[in-house]
Structure 1
Amino acid sequence: MRERLLEAAAELFYAQGLRAVSADKVIEQVGTTKVTFYRHFRSKDDLIVAYLERRAEQEREGVLQALALGGGDLDKALKVLSEGIGAASCSPGFRGCPFINAAAEFADPEHPVRKVVAAHRAWYRKTFEEMLAPLGLPDSGSVAEGMVMVRDGAMVAGYLGDPALVAGSLYRGCMAVVEYARR
């Protein structure tokens, strides 16, 4: 039942927004009771956190697969990653990055939802830093942060454009940040 609640929540939250979807709407979608819902989630916020944690896990798996295909080559890994993000962000039904959307709906940085968002962004930054490590850049943390910002821009602009354009812009943007740091 927990799985069914999470699947329904994922569909509804992503399509309609986190605050717009009530626990009752999720309960109705699944065809269960409030007692069952609250047996699995103490609150709607707990459901939102579980939804975002699942999305983070799925996204991380995709990123790690792209990096593995890159075989340690930054250029190749960024191309594969950019193509994947371009394709995902221009797919039918794409409504932006669920983490950026969540941050927009939950402004308080101490809220559990924002903490999941922050943890996901920290993971991206760490992953980009690890990708950059072989280059020996003097401030790989700042470079990684710049790459996260470029990725955020691709996620925001994605559903407004063409997958190849998004992928190309993301790749070129990340490489420009890296090249600037090499100066």
Structure 2
Amino acid sequence: MSSARPSAHERILSTASALFNAHGVRGVGVDRIIAESGVAKATLYSHFRAKDDLVLAYLRRADEHWRRALREAAEAAGPDPRDRLIGLFDALGGATERDGFRGCAFIRTAGETEPDTATHAATAEHKRAVRAWLTELTREAGAADPGRLAVQISLLVDGVMAAAALEPRPEFTEAAREAARALVAQACPVRA
């Protein structure tokens, strides 16, 4: 039973993603991506006009993966939006406790790119999209100030990822989950 070899585009993007996650976007050159993906330079440039295009593709993939993981963890917590706001932290445990976790791809990339560039804008857009989704959940949960609670929870999420980049420990996620539970209980009273 033979499996088809991934396309050149997929090999390039997968290789670049693994390297960017391990070494940062500035720490990896195009020549290394070419060598490790096993494609010719012309092939890489036929799929990605420049390294920035490859970084943007990496960020799009990371955005899709991370937002899906958050949504799935939240939905698995049940129908109550208050429970979903706590349940989303299950996505953090799986992500931050694995070997090689280097922190949030978006925060790391933002720190390595210049403001006013497409790559920096993509990192900020991801964070805005997550906060917008959290604001929807906090509104559904009955928060008096949904935007504020969304910011508080997003800061807890980012804090876990920052702490786990230095020292991946399950108690970081649990501490953030407890803090989120207290914030949600205070901001979203149970309806009678």
Question: TM-score w.r.t. structure 2 length?
Answer: 0.86
Q: Which residue of 2 aligns with 1:8?
A: 15
Kindly state the Cα deviation for residue 104 of structure 1 after the two structures are TM-superposed.
1.0
SS of equivalent to 1:118: helix
CA distance in 2 between counterparts of 1:161 and 1:48 reads 25
Q: Which residue of 2 aligns with 1:166?
A: 172
Q: Which residue of 2 aligns with 1:41?
A: 48
Runs of 5+ consecutive residues of structure 2 not aligned to the other structure: 1-7
Q: Which residue of 2 aligns with 1:65?
A: 72
Deviations 1:143-179 (A, max 9, x none): 211211111000111241422x122112122234334
1:90–1:161 CA contact under 8 A, matched in 2: yes
- Is 1:153 matched with 2:162? no
2:81–2:141 CA contact under 8 A, matched in 1: no
Residues 8-157 of structure 1: matches in 2 within 5 Å? 8-108=15-115, 110-157=116-163
Kindly state the Cα deviation for residue 46 of structure 1 after the two structures are TM-superposed.
0.6
Runs of 5+ consecutive residues of structure 1 not aligned to the other structure: none
Kindly state the Cα deviation for residue 182 of structure 1 after the two structures are TM-superposed.
5.6
CA distance in 1 between counterparts of 2:112 and 2:60 reads 16
CA distance in 2 between counterparts of 1:167 and 1:74 reads 19
Give RMSD over aligned pairs.
1.8
2:97–2:164 CA contact under 8 A, matched in 1: yes
What is the one-letter code of the residue matched to 2:132? Answer: K
CA distance in 1 between counterparts of 2:22 and 2:147 reads 34
Kindly state the Cα deviation for residue 12 of structure 1 after the two structures are TM-superposed.
0.7
Deviations 1:8-28 (A, max 9, x none): 001111111100101111011
Question: Percent identity between the aligned chains?
Answer: 34
Q: Matched residue pairs, number?
A: 181
Higher helix share: 1
CA distance in 2 between counterparts of 1:182 and 1:77 reads 13
Higher relative contact order (CA 8 A, sep 6+): 1
Q: Structure 1 residues 104, 180: closer, same or farther in 2, change over 3 A?
A: farther
Deviations 1:49-92 (A, max 9, x none): 10010011011111111122123323432343212202311211
Instruction: Select the structure of larger CA radius of gyration.
Output: 2
